[in-house]
Structure 1
Amino acid sequence: VVNICTPSGYHAEVVIKAAKAGKHIIVEKPMAITKEQLDSIEDACRDSNIILSSISQNRFSRGVTITRRAIEEGLLGRILCADIYMKYNRTQEYYDSGSWRGTKRVDGGGALMNQGIHGVDLIQYLAGSLKSVYALSKTLVRRIEVEDTLSAVVEYKSGAIGVIQATTSVYPGYPRRLEINGEKGSIALEETSIVRWDIDNSKYEDIVLQASFISSTATPTALSTAEHRNQISDVIRAIKTKTKPLIDFEEGRKAVDIILVIYKSAEEKRTVFLDD
């Protein structure tokens, strides 16, 4: 198994070479930064018959698993709103620490593509596929080529509406917050911990998890490894059993496709539909 952790814009080149060599692959997020790169990766992996998994480790957390189960069981009723707020702090020194950081060519984008992609993956994983987006993107504080602040109003195929917001310029930075609101109940998570569970007559054992998350708001290196280990174990299981991992190519590209559409909306200043 080859684990690819290069700067984002170089992922595709290395993935394709590894696939052609017949190696199974785990690639860091984002899997790629353009549609063309994604399509090339898909072709290479299909032709080589190998397993590829893109890192989306938050899906393996207990809080996310419980939330998804509650939604699938209808405990929230019809979903009306689904929002993700990612208000982080990355200093100018962070961006200056690598020549690729904050560049369109290699980073692929700013606050949304780099820091926000995990939140985008989670909101679509929990609330379902998106139908359309309207976004506003700005570089307000940092000296970088790409956005340090972005907000998008989104409509889901279910009819629900929501907000996707990402920034790396607010002080002091806060834990990612995800909110799902339905006719019968609501759930809120900070990072991957459930902090609000407002559902009548539900008695999940130990449902409101203690807020024991490690904040990714101010210190990029302050990250838990448990969920990464769980995802890697899932990939190993898939290889041994010749089955799909939980996050295969199709699952891994969903968040990137959404982000690319959000960027298109911000650039063209119009509503963009994901099926366009």
Structure 2
Amino acid sequence: MKFEGTDAYVATGDLTVAVNAAVTLERPLLVKGEPGTGKTELARQVAQAMGMELIEWHIKSTTRAAQGLYEYDAVSRLRDSQLGDARVHDVANYIRRGKLWEAFAAEERAVLLIDEIDKADIEFPNDLLQELDRMEFHVYETGETVRARHRPVIIITSNNEKELPDAFLRRCFFHYIRFPEAETLRRIVGVHHPGIKQELLATALTQFYEIRDTPGLRKKPSTSEVLDWLKLILAEDLTPEDLRREGADALPRLHGALLKNEQDVHLFERLAFMARRGR
């Protein structure tokens, strides 16, 4: 079975090639790109398209690699021993499965999403090398070895906040999701807002790309943000004329959906001021 996108997710040709190559090679697919370009959603859509269970492991700055395997709850065992609970005699009662264990133990092949791996400590990826290579790990408290029943489809996302180790990169199939060109973005908008009028869409996207291309912008608006912006435009029943009139001499209409820090707002205020002075 090959991934070709879904009705709810517009996948470019190079992205579908990357997904299918990673599945064929049985290697993790490492997906990088700007925040909001659909990296996390890709895993969900791959799982849906291939009829697989999705197991999501969202990484935080405090996440340790061992948590993806299992955790031993020594505190609960100590408490139960003080209370005379019979469960205390079986250490397996205090082993909490991690997301990797869940994927390995799944009855059928599953999709495992390791989301935003670059948030964790730099050693986090290296600590998973052996488990991802061999598809097994050892549980020291019980003495058992957990082996994958079916090799999961592993999709790893990164916002490129820090470099990943070379040894880890070598084991992955890599794909960078570029920000979509206008035609691809039109198709994406069509999935989420199928009834939008073409003149309004053309005007909005022209203004959106002008905002993205503004020199000095600290945080460029993403795909998810333009979708939110268009949703607000439709809710307010704005016309192309509304967008053109406001965009010519002031901040973009409903700019809070696109500009996400005060520096960028001030930048557009200065540009608007200069535009009015130049008249």
Report TM bin, short chain: under 0.3
More strand by share: 1
Larger helix percent: 2
Larger Rg: 2
TM-score (ref. length: structure 1): 0.25
